[in-house]
Chains A and B, each alone.
Chain A
Amino acid sequence: EVQLVESGGGLLQPGGSLKVSCAASGFTFSTYGMSWVRQAPGKGPEWVAFVSNSGSTTHYADSMRGRVTISRDNGKGSLSLQMNSLRPEDTALYYCVRTWRENTFDMWGVGTMVTVSS
């Protein structure tokens, strides 16, 4: 069974930094691109970042470029998102997502909540 389990969310003050992680299992992790998608309370999903299967290519949403870094460890089956200079508008549930054919998102974790508030 495909599983994506996020961790690392929490409450932090504006301007702070946080690293969220995802443990993948049940599929050959190294053959899939992976993404982070966030969803603010009561809002629609918003793509944040993508990393190719090898880790050599990354793409970022304009809203977060320069403040986030996505990375992966294929040996450990893990995905990470380092977030800096966090703002209240970054408050959201952050999902680890498998990127599938035609650049869709076919498998989602349960998410980890990040709350930015003073």
Chain B
Amino acid sequence: EIVLTQSPGSLSSSPGERVTLFCRASQSVSSNYLAWYQQKPGQAPRLLIYGPSNRVTGIPDRFSGSGSGTEFTLTISRLAPEDSAVYYCQQYGDTQWTFGQGTKVEIK
């Protein structure tokens, strides 16, 4: 099973700032099979990015994903108040799906 480790565990930034979230895999992930989700309190996770740089329709272009192998990033270029949430990376490999433990993003 591939273990995904996200960092930092939490961060706090001001509106308009650029933030980068990291996701490290315990072994190489096929780039096509790495995705990012946003979860707000009381809601189900929402798919943001897949493959690992394709935005889902309707997701603002301030969200972008990149990476390959074992290192992946989610960048929010201009943080907005509504971006306050927990973000999870997720991978698929060898008939198993796993999630990272999440990064909590707080807006100052």
Given the complex, which residues of A lie within 8 Å of B102, measured CB to CB? 44
Selected contact of B44 from candidates A44, A103, A104, A111, CB within 8 Å? A111
Size of the B side of the interface (Cβ < 8 Å), in residues, is 25
B32 near A105 (CB under 8 angstroms)?
no
B100 near A44 (CB under 8 angstroms)?
yes
Which of B33, B45, B47, B97 has its CB near the most chain A CB atoms (within 10 A)?
B97
Provide the B50-63 mask, 1 if CB < 8 A to any CB of A, else 0: 11000010000000
Given the complex, which residues of A lie within 8 Å of B92, measured CB to CB? 102-104
A61 at interface by CB-CB < 8 Å? yes
Size of the A side of the interface (Cβ < 8 Å), in residues, is 21
B35 at interface by CB-CB < 8 Å? yes
Shortest B63–chain A CB gap in Å is 15
Given the complex, which residues of B lie within 8 Å of A62, measured CB to CB? 1, 96
Provide the B24-65 mask, 1 if CB < 8 A to any CB of A, else 0: 000000001101010100001111001100001000000000
A105 near B45 (CB under 8 angstroms)?
yes
Known: A45-B37, A50-B97, A62-B1. 4 other contacts (CB 8 A): A50-B95, A103-B97, A104-B50, A111-B44
Between-chain CB contacts (< 8 Å), 20 pairs = A35-B97, A44-B86, A44-B100, A44-B102, A45-B37, A45-B39, A45-B45, A45-B88, A47-B98, A50-B97, A59-B95, A59-B96, A61-B96, A62-B1, A102-B32, A103-B97, A104-B92, A108-B44, A109-B44, A111-B44
